[in-house]
Structure formats: structure tokens, C-alpha cells
Structure 1
Amino acid sequence: MENQTPPQELKRELGLLDGTMLVVGSMIGSGIFIVSADITRSVGSAGWVIAVWLITGFMTLTAAVSYGELSAMFPKAGGQYVYLKESYNKLIAFLYGWSFFAVIQTGTIAAVGVAFSKFAAYLYQPLSEQHILYQIKTGVDQLGNDKFFSISAAQAMSIVIIVLLTFINTRGVEGGKWIQRIFTLTKILSLFGLIVFGLIALKGDVWHANWTNAWHMHEIKLDGTNGLMDYTLPIALGAIAGSMVGSIFSSDSWNSVTFIAGEMTNPKRNIGLSLFLGTLIVTVIYVMANVVYIGVLPMHDIATAARDRVGVAASQQIFGNAGTKIMAVMIMISTFGCNNGLIMSGARVYYTMAKDGLFFKQTGTLNKFAVPEFGLWIQCVVACALSLSGSYGNLLDMISLVAVIFYILTIGGIYILRVKRPDAERPYKAFGYPILPAIYILMGLAFCIVLLIYKPEYSRGGLYIVLSGIPIYFLAKRYLGNDEETTNA
């Protein structure tokens, strides 16, 4: 039995509950507990903080229900990569897959892993990022100061978590499925608990003060003082776009369920429904969590929360001295489940790319548990390297723009396929077509343009990563590809 031939196809073992839990679990990491501080510094008022989350939620829901049509047409492993290939060509699909491997998925895994460790330090201080385990001098900077490469306890713990979850997922989808179910359900219940107790603990004077002049957009500096008080329209648009970097990052990875389509039962129905239910649940949680923040913390306290940890500050107001530890446990549960979903789904994209001759050949093979083990481990290596580099934070700044560009292209593919393949089977059609998908595309384009103009530091690096994939694509075709077009049926 030791020489048993590995399975040639992925096993369909995941149902609607698993798909929904993957969407929710992959979306909710540590962002909702942190990014509202930066959003508040940019827009300054309660109304605009909620508006940023509502706009992001609307965009996410619109994109998710639009993907339903594509997921029903192409119920295959690889999800968004497949949709881009079928709508456009292999180059566009590869640029997405390359960006996904280089920064989008691996950078997110690294950041979520380090976030787990940072909050674990509230329970066990030696796990903090200030606890340096190893340090070596690497040179001198322009000011004559010594430069060091160091490894903190938080980074080391992040690597342990990433390796552990990768190993579990190499043993088949069953283990990953149960981790996702247990941790995501616990996460949802704990977040709803926070919201309920937060609404009970709501402070009338704080609520009233925060909603006075709720639509006066202004800047709050990190030290709590007011900055620019009267925004012109261009500056206001820049502030909204800059704010949405955080909310979009916190709402990203909702498309993870499309990557595991090859392992979903009845994928033509369950993927689209998982996308809708998962993104709706998360949108409600995100908006209500921010209502709680605004109900228990003055806007200046939200903007200046220590290390941007708004969730911790709010939890202290709601639960008293025990609030810090309660929130730390919640975020550890949230980030552990989030990383499991990201790790499980990401390798399926590389698997499909390898089937197209655009990634390492071994990535397109399955182990005896019917999972792409090689793809899981190379994803693990890159994510661990990003954890050690300390550069994942800079990389994540680029994710929002790159992710939205590919979402726009993918949703645009719905229009292209309606023309190219008018008679193709469409068990589910995009809700609100052609209006809602067009609204998303216009809103996404506006977001990208404003971000390019007013926040170029977020965009240039991301675009460079995408464009660097062009020569890599032709090298991959030459050395890894084959002469026959593969369809990954």
C-alpha cells in the first residue's frame, strides 16, 4: 500500500457551511480591531467612519454576488485565476497568480501570524515583538547608525503557527475544515458578544459628543490634536480613499472560497451562496463593531489608541481590567482561524497555475490525502520569510490597490463572457446585472485613481510587483510550460 498512486483529482468534501465559514474566517483577522484608528485620523468624525465601512461593505457584497455567476460557470480549483484566464488570457491570470503568491496571500498570512503573536504577548509577555531572540549587525545607514537584522519572539511564534497550520492542511481537508468551523463559529459568537455587551455599556455622553457634527470631515493627528479642519473636495476624496486602504484590507480574502471550488460539493450553488452569506455576515459585524467603538470611546481616543489597538481600548471600557485579556483571546482565535483559511485556499491557486504550465510542475500534483502539498509548503516558506523580513507591513500597504484592480478586471469579465459565450450555461446570474457590477467597477476605478494621486506610496510598489510578473510569465512559459493548452477540467 506504500506505493499507492496519489489521487489525480481533488476530493469534494466541503459543503455550504464550510464555504461560508471559509469566507467569514478568511475575512476576519486582526484588521477590524486595529484599522479604525487610522480611518478616524483621516476622516475625523463618526458619520464618515461608519460611511467608510458601509462603502467598503457595499463594494464587497456587490463583488461577491457578481462572482456568483463566474463561480457557477467555472466550478474549478483556482477560482479568480480561472475566471481571469477564461475572460481574458493566461497572461492576465498569471499576473494575478504571481501577485497573489508574491504578496497578496503570503504577505497576509505573515501579517496575520505576527498579529496572533503580538496579542498572545498580552497573556505571556515573552512572546512580544520587543523580545529579541537573535540580532546581527548588517551595516550602517546614511546617518551613521548601525543597522541590524533581528528576530523577535513574535516573528518566531508566527512561523510556528504558519508551519503548524500548513502541516495540518497537508494531511487532507478534513483537519483544516474542522479548524475552520470551530474557530470561525467561536469568532462570530465572541464578536457578537462584544457587540451586545458594547451596546449595553454604551455611554450616552460619549455617543452624543461623537455624533455632534458627525459629518464634519477633518484630520486628527496621532497626538490627538486636530489637523486640517476644512477639507476641499479633492482632499476629502483622498482622505476617504486612504481610509479605505484599511477597511478593504480588513474585508479582503472574501474570494478564498472560489479557490477551493474543486473540493466543494455542488459548487455551482454553494460557492455563490457562501460568498453572499459570508460577506453579509462580516459586513454586519464590521459596521456594528464600529458602532460600539463610537459608543464607548471619544473620537480622539479611537484615533490615538495605543498601537492603533482600538478593540483593546474599547474592551477595557466594556469589561474593565479584564478587557485587555478578553480582547487578546478574541484576536488570537480570530487570527488563528483566519490564517487556517488563507493557508488552505491559497495553495489551490498555485495548483491550477501549475496545471497550466505556469508554475513549478510539482505544485500541480496531489499527495495521498488529495491536497497540493508542495504548493502548501512553498507558500509556507514565502510567508515565513516575509514574517522574518519585517517588510510584510509595507507589502500589505500595496495589497488594497492591487486586489481592487484584479477585482475590477474579474467583474469586467462578466460582461466579456456574456459576449464571448452567450450560450454558456449560467446556473446563477450576477445579481443586479448590468447595473450593480458596473457600479462596483466605477467605484473601484475611482478608489484606485484617487489612491494613485493622493497616496502614491500605497500604489507604486504594488504596481511594480504586478508588472514584474510579465517577464516571469514568459520565462515560465519557456521553461515550465507545455505546447498544449490545458483547461484544468
Structure 2
Amino acid sequence: MSDAPSFKPSIKLLDATMIVAGSMIGSGIFIVSADITRNTGSAGWLLLVWLITGFMTLTAALSYGELSAMFPRAGGQYIYLKEAYNPMTAFLYGWSFFTVIQTATIAAVGVAFAKFTAYLIPAFSEENILLHLGFIDISAAQLLSILVIVLLTYMNTRGIEGGKTIQTTFTLTKLISLAGLIIFGLIAIKPGVWHANWQNAWHLHPLTTDGSSPSYTTIAALGAIAAAMVGSVFSSDSWHNVAFVAGEIKNPKRNIGLSLFLGTAIVTIIYLLTNITYLAVLPLPDIAHAAKDRVAVSVAQAVMGNAGPIIIALLIMVSTFGCNNGIILAGARVYYTMANDGLFFKKAGQLNKASVPAIALWFQCIVACLWCLSGRYGDLLDMISFVVVAFYMLTIFGIFILRRKRPDAERPYKAFGYPVLPLLYILMGLAFCGLLFVYKPRFTWPGLFITLSGIPVYYLAGSHKKKKGGNMAAEDPASDHHRKTSPLSQPNS
């Protein structure tokens, strides 16, 4: 057993922070402000939507710090839900993570990479259909997104060092590049545009192509805010990926919580400043109706001339490539932990010679590639955002449960602002998910259905495990001590 591969703790605080920031910054910040502006119709509400999302993200990250310090093991949110609730709740998260949350996010970011590659190389356009299969058409953009996902998966099977290096390098590059866009944009501020954008800054209304400004009813206004937040929530998601690689982080009880705070704070500030730059350069109608929602490209064109769109397209390609690397790297650790609980394919619970869960990475790759073929960017956003926030709420409520169930447990870090901030997040999340149900049912209902479909799968996996006489794969040796002391980890829990 001593010769069996095991996770190697080689990720330092900077690397962990870059996993947080790099997994968050993908394509969204360059695109989704167009949809937010169409829904809200004003500069004040554009920034407020990003501010609300940033507040929710920071609150969630600070709350997760307590959980990550209590359970610094591979699996992250899956482990937290199992400890706070029960194995079935954790499995439903893991099932949703595999079928929707992580894999569809990988697909959405891959599609965005292809979309901006097509800006430079039109042959990769979504309009360039390569295969007509009757029930589905496969475009060059879809094929490119699949190839990128396969490439990054392969690179991450080679070991954590390569994935870590790619992540840190690409994240630092895009942070510096975004800072450059902000600086150049603010230097090139157009006072007339800025002043016009802040006229009636808090008039919440849809911004239509014909220039009309119909008013919302009160309920419809709340729905518009929720619809607008879909893009900002997606753009701010995946910050918790660092917790999935806890078994490979040096001093995880300190560095996971600290990297969560630093990464989310950096990205929140960058996002707000980027949107201020948009407002300083482009009139609101130009933001709302930018060609194919490429707001950043329009800003770069206005600031840097003809070279601007090329520069920004390259930046977004770097951004989405690095983002997908972080998401792919982290996600497979969840399936690894599930497999060791006997709730996923047995092979996914094994590490290769490079001490990474290679089989779990390839399972994730296959599903992500299928998502690339199934839906458009916006459709994937709607489905992901609802399911993600629902599980964030459950996990944060788990802090309240664990404070009661285990009052004497070691807590190297305690959730900032407890109980007010975690409770506020839950209330805001309930409002967001409820409004999406009403105003964007087309993909929120399927997201919920996919999640609940995991219930019969859980019982089938459980019955199979009983027939086998226990877990289908060996447990993670790193968590032996925890299993001896935690009643929730016993076989009958």
C-alpha cells in the first residue's frame, strides 16, 4: 500500500489563489454585460448587478473558509455536504456536478474560446457547419471547443505540476491584460459618453433595439434583475474549485480559506473596474447591442483602433484557455472522492503514476464534449447558474448545522460575519433561484430534473455496493483519521 500513488501537496498559496481567480475569469466578463444591460437598461443597475454578485461570491467564499479548514481533503463541496447532511445529499451534488455544473461549465467556456478564435480565424465560426447528422449539425466552433477540452484533459493527466504551471501562468497573464484594458480604457474616457450613461442611472427598464424604454412592473423588475444576474453569477462561479484539490495544497487549513478570499476579492474588483471602463467608453445602447455580445471587442476598437479587437480576442483566448484548465484540473477530484465512497465508477477512484485521477479526468472530458454539441452558450448559462446557487445555499446552511452538531470541532477559521452574512446569502440565493424558476423556466426546470434524477441512481449505486460487501474502491488514505472519529463517515450513516 505504501507504494500506491497518492496526492502530492505541491500547490502553494499563489498557485491556489491563481486557481480561484483563473477558474472565475473565463469569457463572461467580456460578453455578459451586454445581456445585463439589455435587462436593466441603466448604468447604475449594470454595476449594481455585478456588485450584488460580487458580494454574494465573497460572502460564500468567506463562509467556505470555515468548511475547508475543518475538512481539508480532496472533494471540497462534496465532502462538506456529506458531513453536514448525509451521503445522499453529497451524491446529488456530485451527480449534478458531473452531469451539469462542472461539465457544462467546461463546455460553455470551450464554446467561448472557439467563438473568439473565430473572430481571428473565420473558418472556426459557428456558421461553418462541418457535419450534417440529421438530428444535429456540428460546426467548426464546436469541434474546436472539443479539441481544446481533450488537449487540456490530456495535459492534466500528466501530473499536477503541469496543470499548476499552466494555471498560474495564464491567470497572471490575463490579470495583467485586464488591468491594461482598464487603464487604457479609463485614459481614453469619453466624458460625453460617461455623462450620458449616468442620466437616469437607476431607471430599471429593458433596452430594446428600437430605442424604446418600456417600464417594468414591480414583479417583472425583480425577474429582470434575476435574469441579468445569470451572466454575472456564471462569470463569478468556479471560485470554490480550489477546495477540490485540498489534498494537493500545502498547509490547506490556512491556504484554502486565504486563497478563496484573495482570489474572489481580486476578481470582484477587476470585474467592477472593467464594467466602469465599458461605461466610460461606450454608450449604453452600444453595450447592450454589441455585435454577438462582444462588449470588450467594441471597447478595444474604440480605445485602440483596428488593432484593439485583435488584441482583445487574443486576451479572451488566453483567458478561456486558462479558465478551462483550472476547471478541468479541479473537477476530477470530486469524482475520485465519490468513487472512493462507492458512488461512482470504480476506476475513477484510482490515481495514475503521476498521482492524478486520470480516469476521472477522461470521464469528465467525455460529458463536457457532449455538452459542447448540445446547447448554445446562453442556454448553458441558465441551467448552470440555477443549480450552482442552489447547492451553494445548501452548503452554506451546512455551517449552521455543523455548529450545532459539532460545537467542539476544531475550526482553525470561522465564517466571517456569522450568522448574518451566511444567512443573507441564503436569502438572496432563494430569491435568485425562485425568480429564475418563474422567468427562465426553459432551462431551470431541466437543471432541477437532472439533479433529482440522481436519487434513483444513488439507490442503485448503494444496492450495488451492498452486493459487493462495501465500497467499490479503496478509501482515500489521507482521511483515515477523520473516518475513525466522524459518525457521519461510518458505514451505517
If the length of structure 2 is used for normalisation, what is the TM-score?
0.93
Q: How far does residue 224 in structure 1 lie from its aligned partner after superposition? A: 4.4
Q: Aligned partners of 1:469, 1:475: CA distance in 2, in Å?
A: 10
Report the counterpart of residue 136 of structure 1 in structure 2.
133
1:61 aligns with 2:58: yes
Q: Is 1:174 matched up with 2:174? A: no
% identical equivalent positions: 65
The aligned residue for residue 143 of structure 1 is none
Question: Does residue 211 in structure 1 map to residue 198 in structure 2?
Answer: yes
Pairing 1:295-444 to 2, within 5 Å after superposition: 295-390=280-375, 393-444=378-429
Offset of residue 293 of structure 1: 0.6
The Cα shift of 1:5 comes to: 8.6
1:470 is matched with which residue? 455
For residue 155 of structure 1, the aligned residue among 142, 146, 159 is 142
Amino acid across the alignment from 2:109: V
Aligned to 1:141: none
Question: In the alignment, which residue of structure 2 is the partner of 1:109?
Answer: 106
Task: Note the C-alpha offset of 1:7.
Answer: 3.2
Trace 1:29-44 onto structure 2 (pairs within 5 A).
29-44=26-41
Matches within 5 A, 1:165-244: 165-221=152-208, 223-228=209-214, 230-244=215-229
Q: CA deviation at 1:200?
A: 0.4
Q: 1:469 to 1:189 in 2, by over 3 A?
A: same
SS at match of 2:271: helix
Alpha-carbon distance in 2 for matches of 1:324, 1:350:
39
CA deviation after TM superposition for structure 1 residue 132, in Å: 1.9
Distance verdict in 2 for CA 1:192–1:70, change over 3 Å: same
CA-CA distance at 1:391 after TM superposition:
5.5
Amino acid at match of 1:448: C
Instruction: Quickly say closer, same or farther: Cα 1:340–1:408, change in 2 above 3 A.
Output: same
Query: Is 2:5–2:353's contact at 8 Å kept on the other side of the alignment?
Result: no
* Structure 1 residue 454 corresponds to structure 2 residue 439: yes
For residue 77 of structure 1, give the secondary structure of its aligned residue in structure 2: coil
1:277 is matched with: 262
Alignment correspondent of 1:73: 70
Name the residue aligned to 1:445: 430
Counterpart-to-counterpart distance in 1, 2:94 and 2:80: 12
Measure, in 1, the Cα distance between the counterparts of 2:295 and 2:4: 47
Q: How big is the alpha-carbon RMSD for the aligned residues of Structure 1 and Structure 2?
A: 1.6
Mapped to 1, the partners of 2:375 and 2:59 lie a distance apart of 34
Task: Give yes or no for contact 2:111–2:377 (8 Å, CA) kept in 1.
Answer: no
Measured after TM superposition, the shift of residue 487 of structure 1 is 7.0
Q: Deviation string for 1:59-113 (max 9, x for gaps)? A: 0000000000000000000000000000000111111111110011111111111
Aligned partner of residue 137 in structure 1, secondary structure: coil
| Structure 2 gap segments, 5+ residues each | 480-493
Greater CA deviation, 234-243 or 456-465?
456-465
Q: Which residue of 2 aligns with 1:98?
A: 95
Q: What is the match of residue 48 of structure 1?
A: 45
Q: Does structure 2 retain, via aligned residues, the 8 Å contact 1:218–1:226?
A: no
Structure 2: distance between partners of 1:441 and 1:74: 22
Task: Give the CA deviation at 1:232.
Answer: 2.6
**C-alpha contact 2:110 2:324 (8 A) present in aligned 1:** yes
Matched ranges for 1:230-269 at <5 A: 230-269=215-254
- Farther off after superposition, 453-462 or 67-76: 453-462
Whether the aligned pair in 2 keeps the contact of 1:224 and 1:300 (CA below 8 Å) is no
SS at match of 1:151: strand
Normalised TM-score (structure 1):
0.94
Structure 1: runs of 5+ lacking an equivalent: 139-148
Q: 8 Å contact 1:360–1:480 — kept in the other structure?
A: no
Contact kept, 8 Å, 2:231 with 2:381, in 1: the verdict is no
> For residue 256 of structure 1, what is the amino acid of its counterpart?
N
CA distance in 2, matches of 1:356, 1:412: 23
* Other-structure match for 1:88: 85
Number of equivalent positions:
474
